[in-house]
Structure 1
Amino acid sequence: MSGVVTGDAVRLGLQPARLPSRALALLIDLVVVWAAYLLITLGLAAATASLDEAAARALAIASFLLVLVGAPIAVETLSHGRSLGKLAFGLRVVREDGGPIRFRHALMRGAMGVVEILMTFGAVACIASLASERGRRLGDVFAGTLVVRERVASGAGMAVPPPPPWLVGRFAGLDLSAVPDGLWLEIRQYLTRMRQLDPAIGQRLAERLAGELVASTGTPPPPGVPAAAYLAGVVAERQARDARRAFAAGPAGGAGVPGATPATPAAKADGGTWATGATGATAGTGSAGVAGSAGVARAAWAPVAGSDAAAAPAGAPAAAAAPAPAPTPAPTASPSAPASTGFAPPA
């Protein structure tokens, strides 16, 4: 089933409704409207029995227009495209760009519905819907609308793509406390749908989101890092912090964990302002790590040098590893204790 694509080549998360569901929703609407029309007609016939034939005919025409034409228009306008039948089947009328409809859209759909639904018993609407790629009838074509499904079968959720390997763990010292939740949501939505966007539009959107993220954190990314990769790396760092917060064994920040030491700032490389993060397993939240299991700290951003950065793109930062700590000498055996050979004596 094809999705809805706007004029800016942006694919919306909407699925056009097809003829079977639309026909059943329309059947419910027609049953309700015709039942109301018959009740009103019987009431008017009893109330206008003393009027002449011309007045009775005028009232009949007025009731027809108000109930069978005006009522659906009013319902779609007030409910923003959800009638009783559409509500029962999880359908909704929207504009072609995915926005809610207004009175002019509902008026055009209702006016065309008199011809293609009421006067032809739905034959014209069925033919037009079958011929349309997105199941639109003539009223939808003239009004610039379409009927979409609001309730879609739940499937596997779209996960945020992982950052490039050369960006994993590089944002351990970044302060993310000032980033608003709305910006996180926009970044996640972009990362999950960036392969569906037009390349030029996706690049502009990534640059805008990266600029807002830099304004919230106060630290610009190093030169040479694409905006999309920067967003993916920061989101991965936030997810890692959330996971450590949820599954930490001790108090936040590594307090109470033996051997837990906070990350120390690294020397600035080429004027950079990034702090150093721990590369080993962390025991608390933030950027604290277990020194005994890690043993090595790396700068969050360092210039590319040597052949170790061959896998990273041009201009991408590479981690500068500090020298490993000297091995601890083995304890000297006591003179009184016998030397261990590793073999047990025979019984």
Structure 2
Amino acid sequence: MTSAPDTLLDGSHTVLTPEYVEFRFTLAGLYSRFLAWLVDALIVLTIAGVVLIVLGYTLGSVPNLAGSLFVVIYFLVDWGYGMALETAWSGQTVGKRVMSLRVIQESGVRIGFYHAALRNLARPVDRLPMMYLVGGATALISGSHQRLGDMLAGTIVVRERRLKVPSALGIVGDESLLADPLFVSRVKKLSTEERDIILAAAIRREEMRMEARLQLFSALSHRLQDVLAMEKPAHLSDEKWTLLVAAALVPPQTKGKRLKSGV
């Protein structure tokens, strides 16, 4: 796994699969992350302001109680906002979506609640002494632009870019399987990590060296046969079998269009 120089600009993060295939991610620079944080901070402050107004109307006669409740609610909103959205939106908040950023695991797959919770619970330390100075300094030192929360959760923040889904993705020699409800239902049960790897391999296969490409699709083919409990049709190569599974994962209306990806 390699990383980029310590700069304010975007760097890169490379993930090496067991088949020695490299997937390169563009790291988000501190400037774009700061702008995303500003958007999110304004949203949190707006929500907190609304809560303060409501508390003022309902508990105006007991200002001490209203003040205490506001502090508690503010911290719950501040922490919960990032945890909830990054879990529901696969590593994005409103600010990150506006700036086309996404949080992923260092291994290149999507984050879950565990990772979102860890990186957001560490925010109070990253914010010290003010305006994320500790987090910013840590990101500058880190080769992968990670603040303390990212190091704790094993996550990185990457830039998304649009990759075109080949319109010929489903034309792999045995389209009849795509109409088989049993095949499609088994494919839909693949884990999020498995889906990400299959789609990334399908979209980026033309960029791979032939030896690495053969190794990757051979490994994916054998893995899919085990997971789906189905034998690969004898007339299909490992790559075409994997592409057939990828075609079942991609809605027909998206083929030939562009999908957002951090890869």
TM-score range, shorter chain: 0.5 to 0.7
Contact 1:69 1:114 in 2 (8 A): no
Q: 2:99 aligns with which of 86, 89, 92?
A: 89
Q: Do structure 1's residue 116 and structure 2's residue 131 form an aligned pair?
A: no
Secondary structure at 1:71's aligned position in 2?
helix
Map of 2:15 onto structure 1: 5
* TM-score when normalising by structure 1: 0.48
2:42 to 4, 12, 31: 31
1:215-262 deviation per Cα after TM superposition (whole angstroms, max 9, x unaligned) = 5428x9xxxxxx99xxxxxxxxxxxxxxxxxxxxxxxxxxxxxxxxxx
For the 8 Å contact 1:178–1:216, the answer to whether it is kept is no
Q: What amino acid sits opposite 2:25 in the alignment?
A: L
- Indicate yes or no: 2:228 matched with 1:217: no
**Given that residues 15 and 24 in structure 2 are in contact (C-alpha distance below 8 angstroms), is that contact kept between their aligned partners in structure 1?**
no
- TM-score normalised by L of structure 2: 0.61
Q: CA RMSD in A?
A: 3.9
Inter-CA distance 209–42: structure 2 relative to 1 (3 Å threshold): closer
From 54, 58, 68, the counterpart of 1:47: 58
Instruction: Work out whether residues 3 and 11 of structure 1, in 8 Å CA contact, stay in contact via their aligned partners in 2.
Output: no
- 1:131-181 CA distances to partner (integer Å, 9 max, x unpaired)? 1222111111100111111126x89xxxxxxxxxxxxxxxxxxxx844879
Deviations 1:85-108 (A, max 9, x none): 111111111111222211111111
Q: Counterpart of 1:56 in 2: which secondary structure?
A: helix
- Deviation by residue 1:184-213 (Cα, 9 ceiling, x = unmatched): x9678445313695xxxx66435557999x
Bigger relative contact order, structure 1 or 2, given CA contacts below 8 A and separation 6+? 2
Letter aligned with residue 192 of structure 1 = E
Question: Of 178, 203, 208, which aligns to 1:193?
Answer: 208
Contact 2:12 2:24 in 1 (8 A): no
CA distance in structure 1 between the aligned counterparts of 2:92 and 2:203, rounded to whole angstroms: 29
Matched-pair contact (CA < 8 Å) for 2:15–2:108:
no
Q: How many residues align?
A: 198
Q: Render the CA deviation track for 1:58-96: whole Å, top value 9, x for unaligned.
A: 312321222212222112111111111111111111111
The question of whether the paired residues in 1 share the 8 Å contact of 2:35 and 2:95 is answered with: yes
Partner of residue 306, structure 1: none
Higher CA-based Rg:
1
SS in 1 for 2:207: helix
**Kindly, what percent of the aligned residue pairs are identical?**
28
Helix, strand or coil at the partner of 2:127? helix
Distance 1:90 1:188 in 2: 19
Structure 2: gaps (5+ residues): 1-10, 165-171, 179-186, 188-197, 226-231, 240-263
Contact 2:21 2:208 survives alignment (8 Å): no
User: Can you give the 5+ residue segments of structure 1 that lack an aligned partner in the other structure?
Assistant: 156-175, 221-226, 229-347
Higher helix share: 2
- Classify 1:195/1:119 alpha carbon distance in 2 versus 1 (closer, same or farther; 3 Å): farther
For residues 187 and 125 of structure 1, what CA distance do their matches in structure 2 show? 36
Matched, 1:19 2:30: yes
How far, CA to CA, are the matches of 2:100 and 2:202 in structure 1?
A: 29
